[in-house]
């Protein structure tokens, strides 16, 4: 019986040791044994680690916040001012660490490959768009163009494989959620472009009475 117990103990120890080859970046370990997610991500981006983005899950699309995408038009005249204004907007992606997912980089390529294989449509990390729009600004006001982009999150688990053990293991895993632009119309959500305006501040009104701005409109670059 003692011999069986000893052999059973040795078998359990070997099993635990084998399982220890695969660990997660959030498992309990000393600082010397455990890499940070930033280090693992950097190895995926550089290609030092052979990485895959497993089990991607797309969240429901939503309309992101509005942000100014044009210059500002100030109306120092006594009547409404209408002018054509150009606008441009570039929306990128960020991961759960708040780090930009660069278009054309390894991270973006791996995520796109995973999403395409799972959902049969591509994923893009960046969307750029530009156009022009007529806007009317009332006297004593400043106007600009704002835009909101349809956004979507994709969640999954990064698997990093090393040819030789790094931090004592061949494999490391960490969960990640990437937020980025989605195609217009995804899940019934549409991009939005609107004209916004506000009353000038006292300092801005004061500038209207000075020099070339008096009684005219002027554009201030964003």
How far is residue 111's CA from residue 125's CA, in Å, rounded to a whole number?
A: 9
Eight-class DSSP state of 78? S
pLDDT band for 32, please (50, 70, 90 cuts): low
How far is residue 193's CA from residue 108's CA, in Å, rounded to a whole number?
A: 27
How far is residue 138's CA from residue 74's CA, in Å, rounded to a whole number?
A: 9
- Checking if the pLDDT of 17 tops 90, the result is no
Spatial CA neighbour of 123 closest among 138, 109, 134, 133: 109
pTM, two decimals, is: 0.80
Q: Are 128 and 88 in contact (CB under 8 A)?
A: yes
Per-residue pLDDT reduced to its tens digit, 97-151: 999 999 999 999 999 999 999 999 999 999 999 999 999 999 999 999 999 999 9
What pLDDT shows up at residue 65?
97
Higher pLDDT among residues 206 and 89, named by residue = 89
β-pairing, 100-101 with 50-58? unpaired
Work out the mean pLDDT of the chain and round it to a whole number: 87
- Checking if the pLDDT of 8 tops 50, the result is no
Most distant CA pair in the chain, distance: 102
Cα–Cα distances (Å) from 110 to 153, 199, 215, in that order, read: 15, 47, 56
């Amino acid at each position: 019986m003692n011999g069986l117990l000893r052999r059973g103990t040795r078998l359990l120890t070997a099993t635990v040791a084998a399982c220890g080859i695969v660990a997660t970046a959030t498992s309990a370990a000393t600082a010397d044994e455990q890499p940070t997610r930033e280090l693992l991500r950097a190895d995926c981006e550089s290609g030092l680690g052979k990485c895959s983005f497993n089990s991607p899950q797309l969240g429901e699309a939503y309309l992101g916040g509005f942000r100014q995408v044009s210059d500002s038009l100030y109306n120092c005249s006594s009547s409404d001012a209408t002018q054509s204004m150009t606008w441009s907007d570039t929306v990128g992606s960020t991961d759960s660490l708040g780090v930009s997912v660069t278009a054309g980089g390894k991270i973006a390529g791996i995520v796109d490959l995973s999403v395409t294989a799972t959902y049969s449509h591509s994923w893009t990390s960046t969307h750029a768009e530009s156009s022009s729009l007529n806007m009317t600004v009332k006297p004593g006001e400043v106007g600009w163009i704002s835009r909101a982009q349809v956004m979507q999150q994709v969640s999954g688990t990064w698997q990093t494989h090393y040819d030789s053990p790094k931090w004592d293991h061949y494999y490391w895993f960490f969960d990640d959620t990437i937020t980025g632009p989605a195609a217009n119309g995804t899940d019934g959500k549409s991009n939005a472009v609107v004209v916004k305006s506000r009353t000038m501040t006292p300092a801005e009104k004061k500038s209207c009475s000075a020099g070339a701005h008096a009684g005219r409109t002027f554009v201030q670059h964003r």
